[in-house]
Amino acid sequence: MNSEQTFASWRQTITMNETKTLALLSDIHGNLTALEAVLADLDRLGVANMVCLGDVAVFGPQPAAVLDRLQVLAIPVVMGNTDAWLLDPQPHPERDEQTNFINEVELWGAAQITAVHRQFLQTFQPIITISLAADVEVLCYHGSPRSYDDIIQAMTPDEDLAKFLAGHTATVLAGGHTHAQLVRRFHQSWLVNPGSVGVPHEFTPDGTIRRPHGAEYGLVRWENGRITIQLHRVPYNTRRVAEITRASGMPHTDRWLANWGHEKT
């Protein structure tokens, strides 16, 4: 799939209700327990408006259950790279020692997906624009507005951002993909990455990745003529995730769980 061509051809616009607060969810990756923790926190805060920035199902123990939950929620969902992959799942080419692990986990996830789930996946949009107020928009994508594979990080040079974001000047530019929370100014826009609901990343001093014990999301609020952006991390029962994962039949469960601190018992 040529993601740049696909992204150039689609746009979905949604108008907010009067509350003017929007929750940003991203990268659930088949972790229903984490998703439910985020939804419970949003309910506690009284936030009803949500958008999901993609990568919802595979590389986690409950891909079908997460898709079922999102269908019930009926919120707009951006097409992420793993969502597009699910429409025609093929083994990833050999790249490094991680490839076999990723292939086996993701192909197992694809096998859990029904034709009804794939019909739902086909409704995901590469770009979704949400209006908070007149001339105040949140442009939602996965990697960047041009491709779900692009990577935007805190240290991405401005010249690269100019290529990724060319032609887009929304008040808030919201994407996921990296599993790392971010708020950054770029010209007149705010770049926001809410992190990952299901598989958040933190980098240790030696460069390895650990998964903090929490589900991440973001809030964008328009009130009294100003934007407020908040990044949240909600604790939840990761031991329950370990139990669900080991009972799911997903391959490589101990490796998948290891950097959450759930070692084989």
What number of CA atoms fall less than 13 Å from residue 60's CA on the CB side?
A: 28
Between β-strands 202-203 and 209-210, what pairing exists: parallel, antiparallel or unpaired?
antiparallel
> What is the number of other CB atoms lying within 10 angstroms of the CB of residue 263?
9
Query: Can you tell me whether residue 228 is helix, strand or coil?
Result: strand
Q: Return d(Cα 138, Cα 130) in angstroms, integer.
A: 5
| Segment holding 254, helix H or strand E | helix 253-258
Q: Give the pLDDT confidence score for residue 12 in this predicted structure.
A: 60
Give the C-alpha distances (Å, rounded to integers) separating 47 from 23, 130, 136, 147, 196.
7, 15, 19, 29, 18
33, two tokens: 């327990």
> What confidence score (pLDDT) does residue 98 get?
86
Return d(Cα 173, Cα 182) in angstroms, integer.
11
In contact, 245 and 61? CB cutoff 8 Å: yes
Bridge-partner residues for 210, per DSSP?
A: 202
- Please tell me the distance from the alpha carbon of residue 156 to that of residue 164, in angstroms, as a whole number: 10
Q: 231, 224, 222: which is closest to 21 by C-alpha?
A: 222
Please tell me whether residue 8 adopts helix, strand or coil conformation. helix
CA–CA distance, 65 with 71 (Å, rounded to integer): 10
DSSP, res 77 = B
Tokens of 220: 């964008």
What's residue 108's pLDDT? 98
Instruction: Decide: 171 and 132 in contact? Cβ < 8 Å.
Output: yes
pTM: 0.91
pLDDT tens digit at each of 265 positions of the chain: 444 444 444 556 555 555 489 999 999 999 999 999 999 999 999 999 999 999 999 999 999 999 999 999 999 999 999 999 999 999 988 888 889 999 999 999 999 999 999 999 999 999 999 999 888 999 999 999 999 999 999 999 999 999 999 989 999 999 999 999 999 999 999 999 999 999 998 776 676 677 777 999 999 999 888 899 999 999 999 899 999 999 999 999 999 998 664 433 2
Using CA atoms, how far residue 83 sits from 30, 52, 126, in Å, is 11, 12, 11
Q: Rounded CA gap, 161 and 157, in Å?
A: 6
pLDDT at 17: 53
φ and ψ at residue 128, rounded to 5 degrees? -125, 130
Question: What domains can be seen in the chain, in order of their start residue?
Answer: 3-258 (3.60.21.10)
Give dist(CA 241, CA 63) in Å, integer: 13
